[in-house]
Structure 1
Amino acid sequence: MSSESRLPEPHPRRWQILSAIAIGTLMGPVDGSVVNIALPVITQRFGTTLAMAEWIAMAYLLVISSVLLTWGRLGDMYGHRRIYLGGFAVFTLGSLLCGAAGGIGWLVAFRVVQALGAGMMLASGPAIITEVFAPTERGRALGLNAVAVAVGLSIGPVLGGFLVEHLGWRSIFYINLPIGLVGIAWAYRVLPPPTAVRPAAFDVPGALTLFGALFSLLLALSQGEIWGWRAPATLALAALGVVGLLVFVAVERRAAAPMVDLSLFDNRVFVLANASALTNFMAQFSVTFLMPFFLQFALGMPPDRAGTVMLGLPAAMMVVAPLAGYLSDRFGSRWPAVTGMTILAAGIVSMSQLDAGASGSGIFWRLAVLGLGAGLFQTPNNSAIMGSVPRDRLGIAGGMLASMRNIGMVLGIGVSGAVFMATAGGRPELAAADLDLFLSGMHAAMSTGAAFALLGAVAAWAARTSSSGPGRRAWRERAAPAQQ
């Protein structure tokens, strides 16, 4: 019997299910971007410092990155429908609490509640999509879900600016309430019940160890530029994170029901496709971190025009992602993924050549090239990751995929910031006073980003070069139609 004949039939309501997942997927990037644009106003309203206000964004990112694998495992054990619906409810409740927060400390705490809910949705969404779509349609489905991310990134700054200007900062959280209630009702109606719930003893030591390790490591990476990369706090947290990961592996090897099945890392496709995803986001965020400084400080653009120019990247992704999914369904994931990463690298190289005479249109089309490459890469690569694992490990695969995205964002910002500081001798907002110095640092940081993209292209190619080995055979058995 062929591997294709053993594959489950697609769910008859799969497109309705995809729409329910897309609503939750949309809310995450919208929420992140609208909050960032409101930070100056929140700082003023609460009479706090910018450093404290930054924790409104930082707490969300750190917590969501640290719990994704835990939620993925719980979804595999108790059903992804339960985790997804629970996450939608927690996220909506967190939004209500954020809007009603009476102080900066409470707002940071309630952002943690939001992050817990968002993590539940992000870990379960790709797993549900993979469960209900046949491999011959999986790429298109994941591509359309990626459109929701791009739309969220595109409309977030515009929506946030409008809400803050006309309705106040609390409205950026209250806007989630009607969307959340509608989304929960629709998801409850259309999401399928779990096909095989496998309750088991949850690996509490593994979950706690992993959370502590990731939280420490990501905090060090995200704050290293501010505290100093050689500061005792940075070094201590980084060391704690690395040691914590080693302890986690030791705990998992001895656990009767480990949170993360370490045998997944024998799967060449799973490992290298996740590595490609990590470098993809590192490359992207080496650009998107520095571009607002370049546009506003170096070129003197007002924030609204700078935001419009920055739309080039997500707008191109929104157009390309569904096409990339179709291509991966038809021809396999290797060529779209490798081509996309190569285009991304070329786009970043072109960005690294910008100078003080750059025009808004010139920057826009360069960012659109980045979006073309990222959109062409991400959907096929995501499909390869989700198709490379057994069905009872889809939650872990979805959690790992989302973790690579968030960790890549943090690493991209941290590494590009470090390269910039080493070259320009100061943080971007300070170095902008000397344009030549700023451009020197920006060019070095973006060249580093291009190198990340090329590494990702190599990893995407290498994921398909082996014709033997247990990981490759398992991937062929479970996802033959997606294989080139």
Structure 2
Amino acid sequence: MVEISSRRYFILATIMLASIMGPIDASIVNTILPTIAQYFKVEVALVQWVPMIYLLTISSLLLFYGRLGDIFGYKKVYVMGLAGFIISSLLCGISPNIYFLIAFRALQGIFAAMMMAVPFAIITASFPPMERGKALGINAISISAGLALGPSIGGFITALLNWRFTFFINIPIGVLGLLLAWRIIPEFKGQKARVDIPGAITVFISLFLFLLFVNRAQLHGLDYQNMIILLVSTILGIIFFMLEVGNEEPLLNLNLFKNMTFSFANLSALLNFMSQYVMVFVTPFYLQRVMECPPDKVGLLMTAFPLATLIVAPISGWLSDKIGTRILACVGAAICALSLSLMAQLPISATHFDVAWRLALFGIGTGIFQSPNNSAVMGSVPKPFLGTASGILATMRNVGMVLGIATAGLILYNTIPSVILQKTTLGASDIHVFFSGLKHAYIGGAFLTGIASITSLIRR
């Protein structure tokens, strides 16, 4: 333990190097989707599966890989995921058609989930409790930097070379991260337990179908196919919990949720990430359709959010080690709610600065909230279940992203007539109707993170 403690910041730096790839990859792909659709000459409905299958696969496997880390060791899961991510990035870059690209993105999601499931566990196991918040706050820099740099890098690489190199960029970063991880991350001893295969299969299918239902429901509503998908997902979810209750070595230890800090901090994370992706999903519509900003200007303005988080998160994490997590998480979520409320009050004639400082305020709130809340989750579980806790927290993040986009989409589709949504250019009367729908979505996001502010106060 003394050896681990002496090189804990090298371990953190190694984790951060690989952690930056996930956000960069996700934000780059969203940026270049129109280019990919044009290159393969396919419809938007088909090319949307490129990011969606990636996110669905990751979200459905995080619980399983988190538990796998508890059993076989966090380093093994992390290194295997990083190696697979490098190979699958290469395969994505050489895809001969859109169907191969979608398949390889699913494969990339399988390995990305391994990378994302255990970093919180590795950091928590490497740092003493009095430095845990600071370490998690510093780690948040890589995620925020990835989100901030992704759109710009994607646009630059696609313009200078072509879209395939947006996947190839993962290879040199990944190889360096893999070499460092192999050398620096210690072998955390696993526990003697069997892998809950029935539970893993059941929860994977259940979560995958649920998130698929959420995505489809935005466009197709509660049609016959969606109701079947939701029914099967619900039945499998019930079966999963029945399997876990009677299992001595479960995939998901339900006893963890008896701890109020663990349960409500995870709920707060889910709600806050939902509000984040309401902001991330809705604001580009406002910038493009209402303010008529070009894509490069949209990307530049949107970076105000992650850049503010990047600056604030380490400070908030350090502060949480001194004064505790409750107040900081509550204040951070409340600031996010304030920012979304202020976005809802923007006039149609708002300036770029009006939007930028509100986005920066949201980033400040996010930075204040995340590090203390993550520290509360990871500090509330026994050491043998750090991988499980890390997997659950990562699942809350990814499911929150999907639900946030779905919530925003649902509000927009129900408040804005479809004929206006389909227009590329809006008239004066259309803009007022369109902007009214955006305001409802912002208010919905403020309500979600407002609840997160309250649940952040509930601690054991």
Query: For the superposition of Structure 1 and Structure 2, which TM-score range results when normalised by the shorter chain?
Result: over 0.9
Check the 8 A contact 2:218/2:409 in 1, yes or no. Answer: yes
Pick from 328, 332, 335 the counterpart of residue 324 of structure 2: 332
Aligned to 2:433: 437
Q: Deviations over 1:225-278 (max 9, x none)?
A: 122x22122222222222221111001112231111111111111100000000
| Aligned residue identity for 1:168 | N
Which position in structure 1 is the counterpart of 2:10?
16
Q: Which residue of 1 aligns with 2:314?
A: 322
Paired with 1:428 and 1:283, the residues of 2 have a C-alpha distance of 25
1:106-145 to structure 2, matched below 5 A, reads 106-145=100-139
Structure 1 residue corresponding to 2:409, chosen from 410, 417, 438: 417
User: Does the Cα contact within 8 Å between 1:213 and 1:241 map onto a contact in 2?
Assistant: yes
Tell me what 1:64 maps to.
58
User: How big is the shift at 1:8?
Assistant: 8.5
Which residue identity is paired with 1:47?
Answer: K
User: Shift of residue 416 of structure 1?
Assistant: 1.5
How far apart, in 1, do the equivalents of 2:347 and 2:411 lie?
18
Partner of residue 237, structure 1: 229
Letter in 1 for 2:362: L
CA deviation string 1:163-207 (max 9, x = no partner): 11111010001111111111100111100111x322322111100
Contact between 1:163 and 1:169, CA under 8 Å: does it hold in 2?
Answer: yes
Q: Which residue of 1 aligns with 2:397?
A: 405
User: 1:425 deviation in Å?
Assistant: 2.8
Q: Could you tell me whether the CA contact under 8 Å between 1:8 and 1:134 is conserved in 2?
A: no
Equivalent positions of 1:58-457 (< 5 A) are 58-194=52-188, 196-227=189-220, 229-426=221-418, 429-430=421-422, 433=426, 434-457=430-453
Q: Report the residue type matching 2:132 in the other structure.
A: R
Is 1:53 aligned to residue 47 of structure 2? yes
Deviations 1:23-78 (A, max 9, x none): 11100000001111111111111111111111000000000000000000000000
Change (3 A) 1:19 1:106: same
* Alignment deviations for residues 295-326 of structure 1 (CA, whole Å, 9 cap, x no partner): 11121100000111111110100000000101
Contact 2:4 2:186 survives alignment (8 Å): no
What percent of counterpart residues are identical?
42
Aligned-partner residue type, residue 454 of structure 1 = G
Number of residue pairs the alignment of both structures matches: 456
Supply the distance in 1 between the matched residues of 2:222 and 2:296 (Cα, whole angstroms): 36
* 8 Å CA contact 1:277, 1:381 repeated in 2: yes
- Provide, for residues 406-429 of structure 1, a one-character-per-residue CA deviation record: whole Å limited to 9, x for no partner: 111111111121112212233884
Paired residues for 1:450-465 under 5 Å? 450-462=446-458, 464=459
TM-score, structure 2 as length reference: 0.97
Q: Is the 8 A contact 1:355 1:439 kept in 2?
A: no
SS at match of 2:292: coil
1:467-482 to structure 2, matched below 5 A, reads 472=460
Per the alignment, in what secondary structure is the counterpart of residue 6 of structure 2? coil
TM-score by length of 1: 0.92
8 Å Cα contact 1:269/1:385 also seen in 2 = yes
Partners of 2:106 and 2:450 lie apart in 1 by 35
Q: 2: distance between equivalents of 1:113 and 1:89?
A: 12
